[in-house]
Each structure stands twice: as structure tokens, then as C-alpha cells.
């Protein structure tokens, strides 16, 4: 090899090593649209990235789709909000080390005109029954998200089969929380929303919160590592670093500090032994 060839090889190797050093590790996070639509991720992720030196690639989808990504080993960590599904995910061996992170609640929103007459109720099931009796337009996410699963549990408790032919008052949007709220605002329909997305939602038109305060509407978020024993490509150390930070005092304080117009969107509870 002549001198010029050796020089070119040395330059190429140096450039390659520099590129590796400059390219931080990337953690793949699948999470719900509510953590994204609410603006929370824009607050917590920069702080984690600064503390860890890692970068986080976010895939924002419904809880069901986030878990499917975990089942396939396409992500390292999932942050979702459907506890029964999370427990099944762990029991099936797809996830490990689930931790409580934070909570808020769901609310039923609808038009000020309130054709179903549910304003002020604190019983979500009774409100759903009145919506069905009035055949008032209801927008469902229909995307197997945590919010969609909660909504379907409420319809089941109300003993109402919303998927029956002729129930044209019940409509699936097949989209995230923000888009579903936009549709509800556009046509004056009812929907179930997580409070975090609602507080950050600006295109409300004449929508308002009509029903809140039912203990059934409690909305817990959990985080877990995708099982590296099942998927060796999972970045175990990086994923655990994110989980540890999110549930640590700095992560929990960052969540608690996120407010819109002075109102807190999420309440950290990683340290609560009763959660």
C-alpha cells in the first residue's frame, strides 16, 4: 500500500470513529398519544437526554399499538395507560419491570347545548346511558388505545352494545385523542378524553367538560422495559436508564411541574406504595 493509500485509509477511519462518537445512542420509546398531545414529552425528554447523553426516538400511538410494537421487539420501552392490558403484556413475557409513573383522570366532554342532559353528573356510566338514550353523537377513538379501552369498559358496564347496526350516533374516528377532540368540536359530539390532552387542546369550539369525578375515570400510566430475553436487540441498559430516571425524584418533579394555565396535567406516583 503506497503512502497516499495509507493516508486515505487513516483519514477514513478517523472520520468513521468521529461519526460513531458524535452519534449518541438512540432509545426507542412507544407511548400513548396523550403523553405527546398533552405536551408532556416536550418537557421530560430534553431533561432525560441531557442527563443521560442518550436520544429518544418517540413513536406516539394508542396503547394497543404501542404494546404491539413491544411484542414485536420494535421498541425498547413502552409508556402507556391501560393497566389490565399492561398486566397481560407482562404476564405473557413481553414486558418486564413495570412501574407506576403518574396518573390523572378521564373526563366526558361534549357541547354546551348538551342534548343528552349529562352536565354535572359524577357517574360516568349513567352519563353513557343518557347519551345512548338520546342517540346523541358520540366520537370513539376506536384505536385500541388506553382511552378507547376505558370507554368500552364504561359502555359494557352500562350494558349498551354500541356496535349494533343502526347505532349511527356512535362513530369511530380511528385516530388519536387530539384528532378525535377536533372531530367532536367540529360536529358538536361527545367523547371521552384524558384530562392532560383536554387541558392542552386549543380548538374547543363549544365543547366543555360535562362529567368528571367518578372513581372509574382514574387514569394510571405505567412504564416497562420490553423483555430483552425475548428480543435480544432491546437496549436493556438504556431502557432501564430511562425508566429509572422517569421514576426518580428528578423525573417525578419534572412531571409534577408541567402545568398549563397553572393547572397540573399529571400527578407522579412512582413512589406511592399503594398505587
195, 217, 239 - which closes a domain: 217
pLDDT at residue 14, rounded to an integer: 33
Range of the domain at 157: 105-217
Same domain, 170 and 36: no
Same domain, 41 and 55: yes
pLDDT at residue 25, rounded to an integer: 82
Question: What's the pLDDT band for 274 if we cut at 50, 70, 90?
Answer: low
Q: Please say whether the beta carbons of 54 and 25 come within 8 A.
A: yes
Angle formed at CA 231 by CA 230 and CA 235, multiple of 5 degrees: 130
> What would the pLDDT profile of 69-89 be if each residue is shown by its tens digit?
999 999 999 999 999 999 999
> What would the pLDDT profile of 11-68 be if each residue is shown by its tens digit?
333 332 233 233 458 999 999 999 998 999 999 999 999 999 999 999 999 999 999 9
Place of cell 385523542: 177
Same domain, 129 and 164: yes
Same domain, 138 and 212: yes
Q: Is 94 left (phi over 0), alpha (psi -120 to 50) or beta?
A: alpha
Task: Evaluate the CA torsion angle 192, 195, 201, 204 in order and state its sign.
Answer: positive
Residue 240: inside a domain, yes or no?
yes
Same domain, 46 and 33: yes
Between 19 and 225, the more confident residue is 225
217, 239, 259 - which closes a domain: 217
Residue 275: inside a domain, yes or no?
no
Residue 200: inside a domain, yes or no?
yes
Which pTM value belongs to this model? Answer: 0.84
Same domain, 207 and 249: no
In the predicted structure, residue 4 carries a pLDDT above the cut 90: no
Same domain, 110 and 209: yes
Mutual angle of helices 124-134 and 146-157, in 10-degree steps: 80
The CA distance from 129 to 160, in Å, is 8
Residue 2: inside a domain, yes or no?
no
Residue 12: inside a domain, yes or no?
no
Same domain, 120 and 207: yes
Residue 274: inside a domain, yes or no?
no
pLDDT at residue 226, rounded to an integer: 98
Same domain, 134 and 182: yes
Half-sphere exposure of 150 (CA within 13 A, CB side): 26
Question: What's the pLDDT band for 110 if we cut at 50, 70, 90?
Answer: very high
Q: Please say whether the beta carbons of 142 and 244 come within 8 A.
A: no
Same domain, 90 and 52: yes
pLDDT at residue 271, rounded to an integer: 85
Tell me, what CATH number does 172's domain have? 3.40.190.10
pLDDT at residue 272, rounded to an integer: 74
Residue 9: inside a domain, yes or no?
no
Q: How many domains does the chain have?
A: 2
199, 217, 235 - which closes a domain: 217
Residue 162: inside a domain, yes or no?
yes
Same domain, 155 and 251: no
Closest CA to 33 of 4, 5, 55, 62: 62
The CA distance from 259 to 33, in Å, is 18
Same domain, 190 and 112: yes
In the predicted structure, residue 1 carries a pLDDT above the cut 50: no
Amino acid at each position: 500500500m503506497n503512502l497516499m493509500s495509507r493516508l486515505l485509509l487513516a483519514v477514513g477511519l478517523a472520520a468513521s470513529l468521529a461519526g460513531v462518537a458524535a452519534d449518541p445512542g438512540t432509545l426507542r420509546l412507544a407511548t400513548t398519544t396523550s403523553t405527546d398531545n398533552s405536551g408532556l414529552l416536550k418537557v421530560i425528554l430534553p431533561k432525560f437526554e441531557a442527563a443521560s447523553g442518550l436520544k429518544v426516538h418517540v413513536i406516539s400511538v394508542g396503547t394497543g399499538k404501542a404494546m404491539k410494537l413491544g411484542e414485536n421487539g420494535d421498541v425498547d420501552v413502552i409508556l402507556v395507560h391501560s393497566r389490565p392490558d399492561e398486566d397481560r403484556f407482562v404476564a405473557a413475557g413481553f414486558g418486564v419491570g413495570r412501574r407506576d409513573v403518574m396518573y390523572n383522570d378521564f373526563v366526558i366532554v361534549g357541547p354546551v347545548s348538551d342534548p343528552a342532559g349529562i352536565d354535572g353528573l359524577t357517574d360516568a356510566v349513567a352519563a353513557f346511558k343518557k347519551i345512548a338514550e338520546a342517540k346523541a353523537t358520540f366520537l370513539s377513538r376506536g384505536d385500541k388505545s388506553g382511552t378507547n379501552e376505558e370507554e368500552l369498559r364504561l359502555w359494557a358496564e352500562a350494558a349498551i352494545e354500541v356496535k349494533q347496526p343502526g347505532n349511527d350516533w356512535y362513530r369511530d374516528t380511528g385516530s388519536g385523542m387530539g384528532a378525535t377532540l377536533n372531530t367532536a368540536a367540529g360536529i358538536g359530539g361527545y367523547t371521552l378524553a384524558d384530562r392532560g390532552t383536554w387541558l392542552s387542546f386549543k380548538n374547543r369550539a363549544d365543547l366543555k367538560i360535562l362529567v368528571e369525578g367518578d372513581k372509574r375515570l382514574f387514569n394510571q400510566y405505567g412504564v416497562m422495559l420490553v423483555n430483552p430475553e425475548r428480543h435480544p436487540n432491546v437496549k436493556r441498559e438504556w431502557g432501564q436508564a430511562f425508566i429509572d430516571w422517569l421514576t426518580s425524584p428528578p423525573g417525578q418533579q419534572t412531571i409534577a411541574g408541567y402545568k398549563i394555565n397553572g393547572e397540573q396535567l399529571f400527578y407522579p406516583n412512582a413512589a406511592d406504595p399503594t398505587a
